[in-house]
Structure 1
């Protein structure tokens, strides 16, 4: 059995690959249906459908440069049902920090919320 930290780190690498290939629909399995995302510019995106559409819209932009999320730490609760990932993100000439909340849903780690802060 894969350790939770390793499983989450592997899923993050897959998310980075989907973003690099502009595969918005390929991101759907990584987000819980009721996921929430606060992008670096502010605002709130509610639900996996809206999150996938937000990515698709960015991917259609001619000057889009892939975002990369690089985890610094992944902390897992004692029950191994929830986790917090923190790290740095870069892309489109910007960078900052992020926090992702993960939960285990039917044996699979899914993002329930993400917060991105643009710092540069």
Structure 2
């Protein structure tokens, strides 16, 4: 049986693959409808539709390559319904790279782990 930690790590790897393939619409099921995302510069994106739209806008930029988020730790709550994922992220744009730390909050909804909120901090 797959542990919650393994399931979250697997879903993160899959989002990385979809981002690398520039598949914005296929990312939507990974986000709670009311997801809250704080991007690396402190901007706020509210709702799954807005997150998908933001990805689509970046994918349209010919200089955008990908984002890779690397999970370092997953902590589960006592009930097994919420989890905190901590890790590092790297953004690759032709000719430049940004990187930093992130925290994602996952919740179990309808038998699947979805992202409830994310915070990205640009450090370089």
Q: Report the TM-score range of the alignment, normalised by the length of the smaller protein.
A: over 0.9
What is the distance in 2 between the residues matched to 1:81 and 1:42? Answer: 27
1:5 is displaced (CA, Å) by: 0.1
Does structure 1 residue 71 correspond to structure 2 residue 75? Answer: no
SS of match in other structure, 2:66: coil
Q: Map 1:32-47 to 2 at 5 A.
A: 32-47=32-47
Instruction: Report the counterpart of residue 114 of structure 2 in structure 1.
Output: 110
Instruction: Report the counterpart of residue 55 of structure 2 in structure 1.
Output: 55
Does structure 1 residue 101 correspond to structure 2 residue 80? Answer: no
Count of residue correspondences: 120
What is the distance in 1 between the residues matched to 2:104 and 2:31? Answer: 11
Does structure 1 residue 9 correspond to structure 2 residue 9? Answer: yes
1:42 is displaced (CA, Å) by: 1.5
Bigger strand share? 2
1:85 is displaced (CA, Å) by: 0.2
SS of match in other structure, 1:7: helix
SS of match in other structure, 1:68: strand
State the TM-score, normalizing by the size of structure 1.
Answer: 0.98
State the TM-score, normalizing by the size of structure 2.
Answer: 0.95
Instruction: Report the counterpart of residue 91 of structure 1 in structure 2.
Output: 91
> What is the RMSD of the two structures over their aligned residues, measured on CA atoms?
0.6
1:91 is displaced (CA, Å) by: 1.2
1:46 is displaced (CA, Å) by: 0.3
Unaligned runs of 5+ in 2: none
Unaligned runs of 5+ in 1: none
